[in-house]
Amino acid sequence: MTPHEARSRFRAGLKTPTAGWCPGYAQANLLAVPADLAYDMLLFAQRNPKPCPVLDVGDPGATSLPIFAGDLRTDLPGYVVYENGAPVAEVTDVTRFWRDDLVPFLIGCSFTFEDALVREDIPVRHLETGGNVPMYRTSVPCRPAGRLSGPLVVSMRPIPAGRVADAVRVSARYPEVHGAPVHIGDPAGLGIDDLDVPDFGDPVEVRPGEVPVFWACGVTPQAAVMAAGIPFAIGHAPGHMAITDVRDSAYQT
């Protein structure tokens, strides 16, 4: 399926996590903030490059971008609308919420390198189960920027102990879509009490002989929007990504 075809389905109302969709194409996190917050957001990304690798930034009011030929308001399978840091709507179309002063940021997503993991026979549990990847707020603070501050958010994939080094090696080739893991094993070291209760997405089974491997996650700026009580923002629903027109190989070193 091409990105164009996938986006058409989402525009028609299909709501689904996008892991495994359009293999070979990069996926991206969306965060759109009012223009008066755009500098803080760009600086937050510059100061926290692991969770916030910026792939593209639009001019105020832009509804498409060079790397995303669809309509940012309708062509993702799910969105969250925030007011004063609280989610006020989770919808599949944000046209009625969009504003002329919104600056859209597309941020790299680790789904982009999952196809490379699978091609090296490294199992990806949430692809096997068809669920959403589990994501967790951690106790690790991001470096603040202006009005934005909040915790690092991570995604987790259970990897057999003998393949963890391979998962590091493969994902490290994709620094613009979060790259190598930030933490391997020891969930408590990230302040995660219970892997079975993710803050976003669905829990997955960690089987005997597997190690939980944590990658920085592009939901991090949405966690900052919430933690900082930002007046208004629109993000993708976690796991429900923007499927771009860019080949994943474009982000491979």
Binding-site ranges for a second copy (CB under 8 A): 38-39, 42-43, 46-47, 54, 57, 175, 253
Closest approach of Cβ 86 to a second copy, in Å? 26
Q: Which is nearer to a second copy, 19 or 37 (CB)?
A: 37
Closest approach of Cβ 118 to a second copy, in Å? 24
Q: Which is nearer to a second copy, 175 or 231 (CB)?
A: 175
Give the ranges where 31-140 is alpha helix by DSSP (H).
Answer: 35-47, 111-119, 125-129
Q: Are 178 and 51 in contact (CB under 8 A)?
A: yes
Q: Which is nearer to a second copy, 190 or 224 (CB)?
A: 224
Q: Which is nearer to a second copy, 106 or 116 (CB)?
A: 106
Strand order in the sheet with 135-141: 135-141, 151-160, 210-216, 183-184
Q: Which is nearer to a second copy, 200 or 232 (CB)?
A: 232
The CA distances from residue 179 to 76, 216, 218, 232, in Å, are: 23, 8, 12, 30
Closest approach of Cβ 219 to a second copy, in Å? 20
Closest approach of Cβ 41 to a second copy, in Å? 10
Quote the CA–CA distance of 84 and 233 in Å, as a whole number: 9
The CA distances from residue 72 to 11, 64, 75, 166, 208, in Å, are: 10, 6, 6, 35, 41
- Name the nearest CA neighbour of 84 among 38, 45, 52, 37: 37
Closest approach of Cβ 192 to a second copy, in Å? 28
